[in-house]
Structure 1
Amino acid sequence: MTHPSASAPLPLDSDGYPAAGGVARRPAGDAESARANRRWWDAAAPAYLAEHGRDLGDVDFLWCPEGLREADAHLLGEVAGRRVLEIGCGSAPCARWLRSAGADVVALDLSAGMLARAAELNRSTGLAVPLLQAGAGALPLADASVDLACSAFGGLPFVADVEGALREVARVLRPGGRFVASVNHPMRWPFPDSPDPDDLRIVSSYFDRTPYVETDSAGATVYVEHHRTVGDWVRAVVGAGLVLTDLVEPEWTPGRTENWGQWSPERGALVPGTLVLVCTRP
């Protein structure tokens, strides 16, 4: 049942992000997660891009807060002339970077707020990347229609049925196609959400998969994030019919000073913050 306040605009906190009336650890299914996260990102888009837009760039491919960029990592391999799908594109800087590198790109996101900013940047940069509003669990593309798919912290941590989402990726990939996704490293889950290394203390179980849920003042779900262990990710990839070829845990880029939520140079020197899944479709 839809909560009475589920369609109302989300009230914003003083930092511009949606205000959380409450926080809980409880089950949250696919429809609830998608509905809540769509509203949250629609409301949060201006604050998020004001805070991180300069780091993300307008035409750049940043895999993670540690500073790993596709221009240096080449995790996708050769992109020129390839048909590429970006899942969870946000304001679509990665898709525009791929377009500038000669790829034929389509960019997808759940949030209309994020896609509105992506459309503005398409116009200002002169890089016209097609934009689609859809969730990761139901990709509006034909079977075997893309050579590469990628997701830089986009979509997968917010999806309840990640196995279904990965099956969708496998479906749209051509045989031999590659999928690369960066997600929150599962080791982030047991620790407080703080960039301070002094806060590296266990406050919850690594093995507790119960989703993190935020609610508004009326009790409606406004944000959901799902936790999976490293083993869960491996099993989900293999279960979707993909082959896992690499697991990358990026180290902090020397000289990088950017703090990003829980990520910081000091904390990044001690524990991993990002897991990158590199997969192929047989």
Structure 2
Amino acid sequence: MSASQSTQHEESVTSWSKNADYWDNGIGQDGNKYWKRLQQPSLERMVPFKPGKETRALEIATGNGLVARWLASKGASVLATDVSPEMLELAARREMPEHKGKISYRQLDATSPVALSKLAAEDATVGRFDVIIMNMAIMDVSTIEPLAAALPTLLQKGGVFVATLLHPVFFTCGAQRSIRLVDYGPDGYPEIIRAKTIEKYLDVPPYHGVALYGQPAQQFYFHRPLHELFSAFFKAGLAMDAMEEPAFTAEDATPERLEASSNYTQLPALLSFRMRRVV
């Protein structure tokens, strides 16, 4: 990790610790619209659960434990990790009685080769993971190369890494939303046209932003064009066997907020993909 990446990483960790309570209140026990309408349905299709066999799952950047609880509800045994102790404490508080014994928690810096190697060495004594999930966090970390390189040592053969993130083309590149009113649409009435303008994509430096409006501290966003995003995993020898671009539908519309992302039904909000260890 370069000096600049190290500084950005430290600031990012600090911001998430400051935002932990606000994030927990915003996401809640059962998740927000992004979870219910986009993330969960995509994960349902991407994550393989074998009937009659317990799935060993590792979650990177668990936040308040939303995905860990979902995995446990599917019968998985989950190691939920996060770089923020504050987030892990909130995740443990959110655990339901029916999840007892199914979820364990551990602080883990997924940008640290040393921390990942230590986890892999410990994991080898009990069997590798069937599934590793990183839900809506890749754009929040300063480097993904250490995690990608560690996946073959953490996953059993045939195991999968599943990730969701804000779409690099339509979000993290800094795409600008626009709204245009056409006086006479196809039915003769005014029609609202929503679009996005992309001025930069290949080279977008890290920038500050917010995940939830009103949060105490801004966080870093780390944009990666698709070839940079996927190449880290291909270099590690993984093969991508699934990809989706979840988008909101008309029933998700927020009429009172014309600018809301949920109104842009022709442009995907997220990118989901699955990488598999094949050798």
> What TM-score range do you get, normalising by the shorter chain?
0.7 to 0.9
Residue deviations 1:183-209 (CA, integer Å, cap 9, x gap): 1111112313x6x75684436411123
Q: Give the superposition deviation at 1:66.
A: 4.6
Counterpart residue identity of residue 277, structure 1: F
Q: Give the superposition deviation at 1:88.
A: 0.7
**Secondary structure of 2:158 counterpart:** strand
> Which has the bigger relative contact order, CA under 8 A and spacing at least 6?
1
TM-score, structure 1 normalization? 0.74
Within a 5 Å distance, the mapping from 1:91-130 to structure 2 comes to: 91-122=64-95, 126-128=99-101, 129-130=103-104
Q: Give the superposition deviation at 1:255.
A: 2.7
**Secondary structure of 2:92 counterpart:** helix
**Secondary structure of 1:171 counterpart:** helix
Aligned residues: 241
Residue 185 (structure 2) aligns with? none
Greater fraction of residues in helix: 2
Q: Give the superposition deviation at 1:55.
A: 5.1
Give, in whole Å, the separation in 2 of the partners of 1:246 and 1:205. Answer: 27
**Secondary structure of 2:13 counterpart:** helix
**Of 6, 25, 48, the match for 1:77:** 48
Q: Give the superposition deviation at 1:254.
A: 5.6
Residue deviations 1:232-258 (CA, integer Å, cap 9, x gap): 222122012211112210122563357
* Contact 2:29/2:66 (<8 A) preserved: no
**Secondary structure of 1:91 counterpart:** coil
TM-score, structure 2 normalization? 0.74
Within a 5 Å distance, the mapping from 1:181-192 to structure 2 comes to: 181-187=163-169, 188=171, 189-192=173-176
Comparing 96-105 with 137-146, greater Cα deviation is found at: 137-146
**Of 210, 224, 227, the match for 1:228:** 224
Percent identity between the two aligned chains: 25
* Contact 1:81/1:104 (<8 A) preserved: yes
Within a 5 Å distance, the mapping from 1:133-212 to structure 2 comes to: 133-137=107-111, 138-139=115-116, 140-143=118-121, 145-154=128-137, 156-187=138-169, 188=171, 189-192=173-176, 197=179, 200-202=195-197, 204-212=199-207
Give, in whole Å, the separation in 1 of the partners of 2:30 and 2:4. Answer: 32
Unaligned runs of 5+ in 2: 181-193, 210-216
Give, in whole Å, the separation in 2 of the partners of 1:166 and 1:228. Answer: 14
* Contact 2:248/2:269 (<8 A) preserved: no
**Secondary structure of 2:15 counterpart:** helix
Residue 15 (structure 1) aligns with? none
Unaligned runs of 5+ in 1: 1-26, 215-220
Give the superposed CA RMSD. Answer: 3.1
